[in-house]
């Protein structure tokens, strides 16, 4: 579904990604790990269409289509979802209004009929339960005054509402206590199907105890330097990133 070929990206003249190659197929769960500053979040944001980045080289296709040419909204409508590392607070825009607009725009694009008010509320109730989101959060402004855990659960709630094909979860585990982490993970697991795929961008292995990846990639200095099965995550947890850094730095010199 997603093919990344030799992707080079810079921001403000600084090269961040230096030749990423990655292929993701339906039904798969990928974890992208790596030390701080390795380019993990950049990759996630570039895929979602954030405009601050410059694509220097390479291509990305999503179901065969050039992803990088699409606006952020069209990427979302085609089934790409980014769970933000730092969900944005939007005072004055209610969660209900926000989600109703989003769901209906996405449905319109996919040629599905608009939901009636009652259908929409029913859908919202269902999906809220999935991540144990307080009902009153729905009537509040988007992320305004939400705790860290509520914000992350709210991201997964939105994911559930929009039914994406490819979900990229950017550091969804950071700042979560263990209970919230379990809730978020069980939400993600419940949404998993043979038709969709998940990319977990994370620094820590802990999330991978709850969402088991098929592949683990290590991103370092803008490149994927190691790919293996889930056992790689345990190795990283045990030994840290230093051994990989050492290995690579030795290769370079």
Partner 1 sequence: MKETVATQNYTAVEDITGLYQSNTELFLEGSPDFMNDVRGKALDDFVRQGIPSTKDENYKYTDLRPVFEGDFNVFPSYVDQEIDFLSLFKCDVPKLDTFVILTVNGWYYQRNRNLDLPEGVIIGSLAQAAREHPELVAQYYGKQVKTGKDPLAALNTLLAKDGLFIYVPDNIVIEKPLQVINLLRAKNDSFSTQRNLFIVGKNSQLKVVFCDHTLSKKKFVSNKLTEIYVQENAVFDFYNIQNQHNESANLNSTFICQKASSNIQINTASLHGGVVRNNLEVLLNGEYAEANVYGISLTDNKQHVDNYTHVDHAKPNCTSNQLFKNVLDEESTGAFAGRIHVWRDAQKTVAFQRNNNVLMSANAKIDTKPQLVIDANDVKCSHGATVGRIDTEALFYLRARGISEKEAKLLLMFAFVHEVIAQIRVKPLQERLDELVDKRFRGEISKCHKCMFDCNPKSLK
Site residues, partner 1 (CB under 8 A): 48-51, 71-73, 75-77, 81-82, 84, 87-88, 90-93, 97-98, 101-102, 105-106, 109, 141-142, 158, 162
Q: Which is nearer to partner 1, 101 or 139 (CB)?
A: 101
How far, in Å, CA of 71 to CA of 73, rounded? 5
Which residues, at least 6 apart from 94, have a Cβ–Cβ distance to it below 8 Å?
138, 139, 140, 141, 142
> Please, are residues 155 and 109 in contact by the beta-carbon 8 Å criterion?
no
> Can you say whether the dihedral through the CA atoms of 31, 33, 36, 38 is positive or negative?
negative
Report which of 183, 82, 84, 85 is spatially closest to residue 130, judged by C-alpha positions: 183
Q: Which is nearer to partner 1, 49 or 213 (CB)?
A: 49
Q: Which is nearer to partner 1, 19 or 148 (CB)?
A: 148
How far, in Å, CA of 250 to CA of 32, rounded? 23
Q: Nearest approach, Cβ of 176 to partner 1 (angstroms)?
A: 20
Q: Nearest approach, Cβ of 223 to partner 1 (angstroms)?
A: 26
Q: Which is nearer to partner 1, 70 or 248 (CB)?
A: 70
Give the H or E element holding residue 178.
Answer: helix 178-191
Q: State the pairing for strand pair 29-33/215-220.
A: parallel
Tell me how many degrees the CA angle 237-159-189 measures, rounded to the nearest 5. 50
Q: Nearest approach, Cβ of 245 to partner 1 (angstroms)?
A: 32
Q: Nearest approach, Cβ of 174 to partner 1 (angstroms)?
A: 18
> Please, are residues 28 and 196 in contact by the beta-carbon 8 Å criterion?
no
What are the phi and psi torsion angles at 91 (to 5°)?
Answer: -60, 140
Q: Which is nearer to partner 1, 13 or 92 (CB)?
A: 92
Q: Nearest approach, Cβ of 62 to partner 1 (angstroms)?
A: 14
Token pair in block for residue 195 = 């038709």
Q: Which is nearer to partner 1, 84 or 220 (CB)?
A: 84
Q: Nearest approach, Cβ of 100 to partner 1 (angstroms)?
A: 10
């Amino acid at each position: 579904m997603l093919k990344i070929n030799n992707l080079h990206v810079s921001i403000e003249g600084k090269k961040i990604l230096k030749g990423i190659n990655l292929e993701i197929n339906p039904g798969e769960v990928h974890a992208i790990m790596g030390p701080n500053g390795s380019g993990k979040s950049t990759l996630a944001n570039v895929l979602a269409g954030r405009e601050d980045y410059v694509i220097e080289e390479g291509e990305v296709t999503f179901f065969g289509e050039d992803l990088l040419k699409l606006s952020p909204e069209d990427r979302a409508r085609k089934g790409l979802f980014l769970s933000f590392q730092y969900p944005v607070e939007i005072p004055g825009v209610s969660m209900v209004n926000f989600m109703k607009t989003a769901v209906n725009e996405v449905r319109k694009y996919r040629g599905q009929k608009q939901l009636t008010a009652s259908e929409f509320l029913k859908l919202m109730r269902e999906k809220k339960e999935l991540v144990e989101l307080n009902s009153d959060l729905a009537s509040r402004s988007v992320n305004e005054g939400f705790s860290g855990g509520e914000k992350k659960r709210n991201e997964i709630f939105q994911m559930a509402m929009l039914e994406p094909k490819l979900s990229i979860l950017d550091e969804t585990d950071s700042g979560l206590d263990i209970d919230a982490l379990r809730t978020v993970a069980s939400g993600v697991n419940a949404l998993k199907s043979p038709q969709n795929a998940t990319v977990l961008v994370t620094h820590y292995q802990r999330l991978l105890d709850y969402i088991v990846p098929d592949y683990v990639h290590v991103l370092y200095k803008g490149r994927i330097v190691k790919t293996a099965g889930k056992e790689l995550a345990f190795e990283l947890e045990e030994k840290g990133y230093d051994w990989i850094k050492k290995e690579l730095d030795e290769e370079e010199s």
